[in-house]
Amino acid sequence: MFNLVIFGPPGAGKGTQSEKIINKYKLVHLSTGDMFRAHISNETELGRKVKEMLADGRLVPDSITIDMLEEEVKKNPEAKGFIFDGFPRTVPQAEALDAFLETKGCGIDLVLQLDVDQEVIKHRIAERQKVSGRADDDAVKLLKRIDEYFDKTIHVLPYYKEQGKVTTINGVGRIEDIFDKISGAIDEKY
């Protein structure tokens, strides 16, 4: 098993780089944001519960998020490893993930931090909104999502740094160049 966390603020390129990582390393991609959006569009009970939180750019409570994530991991017993995208976003989520993976005899092998300046992120999100029309990405809610990242999510990094698992990659530049650096970091630990 090789388990990777891809970490960075909204708009840092986590989704784009995750796709390239899955193609090359055949890991299973688990994005909690994608899972919540699927629940909302399928109008499940969970979808109804979280719809407003996503629309407002607020974090979904840890217990709901952790349960959903663990269910998805269990659905992939044959996986060679996972790439966790958008999870964990809080220290309790990181602790829960470690405890859960331990029951499977594995853990997190690498945390890739995509480092992108706030102004660059705002520009990227504005561009993405034009093409995808994602409801949570409008200008007002963007600030809320970025606040959530700098208030809560950023505290996950020291948790993994203490474990010596974080590699920081400059997330500004050509997609291919960033991916080359990511591949180098993965190959060191793979």
Among the candidate windows 59-67, 96-104, 121-129, 166-174, which touches ligand AMP by CB under 6 A?
Answer: 59-67
Residue from 53, 120, 154, 185 in contact with ligand AMP (CB under 6 A): 53
With CA atoms as reference, report the closest residue to 3 among 33, 20, 31, 28: 28
* Residue of 20, 49, 58, 134 marked catalytic: 134
Binding of residue 87 to ligand AMP (CB under 6 A):
yes
**DSSP state at residue 60:** P
Binding flags for ligand AMP, 91-130, as an x/- string (CB under 6 A):
--x-------------------------------------
With CA atoms as reference, report the closest residue to 15 among 131, 97, 96: 131
With CA atoms as reference, report the closest residue to 10 among 90, 108, 120: 120
Which residues in the 16-35 window bind ligand AMP by CB under 6 A? 32-33
- Closest distance to ligand AMP from the beta carbon of 152 (Å): 9
Q: Using the CB atoms, write b or e for 115-139: b if 16+ within 10 Å.
A: ebeeeebbebbeeebeeeeeebbee
Q: Phi, psi at residue 170, to the nearest 5°?
A: -70, 120
Binding of residue 171 to ligand AMP (CB under 6 A):
no
**Closer by beta carbon to ligand AMP, 60 or else 186:** 60
